[in-house]
Amino acid sequence: MPIHADILAYNAAQSPGDQRICDTLAKVIDRHLKGAECKIWHRHPVWFLDGNPIVGYSKLKVAVRLLFWGGQSFDEPGLSPEGSFKAAEARYTAASQIAAKDLKRWLEKSIEIQWDYKNIVKRKGKLVRVK
């Protein structure tokens, strides 16, 4: 599935350095998450598998944050816990900081290790592992 036009517009709206980071992330994510739905969700680019958010990125004041919704379960260096559920993040201030091998490995794990965020409200905040 091609990268959604809204995501391309989001990337284009960033500063030149941040746009390079966003474009790099979008291309690598799209290449490794074949068949994933991608769209702007809560004002940020996000990729979904079977309706569950898997990975996305957002512009913060000081960096571009790459977020994996199941990232705390990956047991991977380079990802820091984010929030009170299973998410983990990496932050970038330059495209040269993106390690392609790490990103590919994290994306592979994001396919294997998924949590059912799409039904979290129905389950009253309880997360259940999908795969």
CATH number of the domain at 83, please.
3.90.1150.200
Flag whether 32 is in a domain: yes
Flag whether 94 is in a domain: yes
Domain that holds residue 50: 5-119
**Per-residue tens of pLDDT for the chain, all 131 residues:** 679 999 999 999 999 999 999 999 999 999 999 889 999 999 999 999 999 999 999 999 999 999 999 999 999 999 999 987 899 999 999 999 999 999 999 999 999 998 888 777 787 777 778 86
Flag whether 129 is in a domain: no
Flag whether 95 is in a domain: yes
**What tokens were used for 62?**
């000081």
Name the domain count of the chain. 1
Instruction: Kindly report the backbone phi and psi dihedral angles of residue 49, in degrees, each rounded to the nearest multiple of 5, phi listed first.
Output: -120, 125
Flag whether 26 is in a domain: yes
pTM (predicted TM-score): 0.91
